[in-house]
Amino acid sequence: MKKASIILSHLADQPQFKFLKQQVCYRKYIKLLGNKYRQAIAFVYIKNHTLFVAVTHPGFKMELNYNRDLLKSVLTQLHSYDSDCTMMQADKVVVFHSRYHPVTEENEDTGTIPYYHERASSNFNIASQDTDLIEKFERIKAQIASGGK
């Protein structure tokens, strides 16, 4: 009985599944870029000798635009060292934000504001003779009893 990897490699060699090889090469390319760029890049593809790089967040677009030479050099190195990825050739690099990976906005109520419970107790004696001071301590007692609100 044949193994699944042998069957898949045989299928990938068929002309109608040539796009599977391209996807493998695109994944190799993204892995070669490093961890910082792996998180920033949603997907890549090549069309008309232009490398299109889709980023997951608009903030990454400017950084990748500054590093276009790096993106091109890694692509040419992959092309020269891997014989399976001969179609990976590009003259230009275009970086864009992918609408398929929208920016997720966090709600302000979800875990960003820490809430603490009052640990003090309102059972304490007021040992003062000053009426103003006794009044202030009574307000503090009431605030502690209400939970600090």
Q: Residues 56-82: what's their mean pLDDT?
A: 89
| pLDDT given for residue 50 in this prediction | 93
Q: What is the pLDDT of residue 52?
A: 93
Q: In this structure, what token pair is assigned to residue 76?
A: 């040419």
Average pLDDT, the chain: 83
β-sheet with 92-97: strand ranges across: 41-47, 50-55, 92-97
pTM: 0.59
Compare 148 and 94 and report the one with higher pLDDT: 94
The CATH label, of 3.30.300, 2.170.130, 3.30.70, 3.20.20, for the domain at 4-97 is: 3.30.300
Instruction: Report the alpha-carbon distance of residue 18 to residue 79 in Å, rounded.
Output: 17
Give me the amino acid identity at 130. Answer: D
Structure confidence by residue, pLDDT tens digits, 124-133 = 888 888 889 8
Residue 67: CA count within 13 A, CB half-sphere: 15
User: Which amino acid does the sequence have at 100?
Assistant: Y
Cβ atoms of 75 and 94 closer than 8 Å: no
Q: Where are the domains of the chain?
A: 4-97, 107-149
- Share above pLDDT 90 across residues of the chain, in percent, rounded to a whole number: 16
φ, ψ for residue 94, nearest 5 deg: -120, 125
For residue 53, the model assigns a pLDDT of: 93
Write out pLDDT tens, residues 89-133: 899 999 998 876 655 555 555 556 777 776 777 788 888 888 898
Query: For residue 15, how many C-alpha atoms fall within 13 Å in the half-sphere facing its CB?
Result: 0
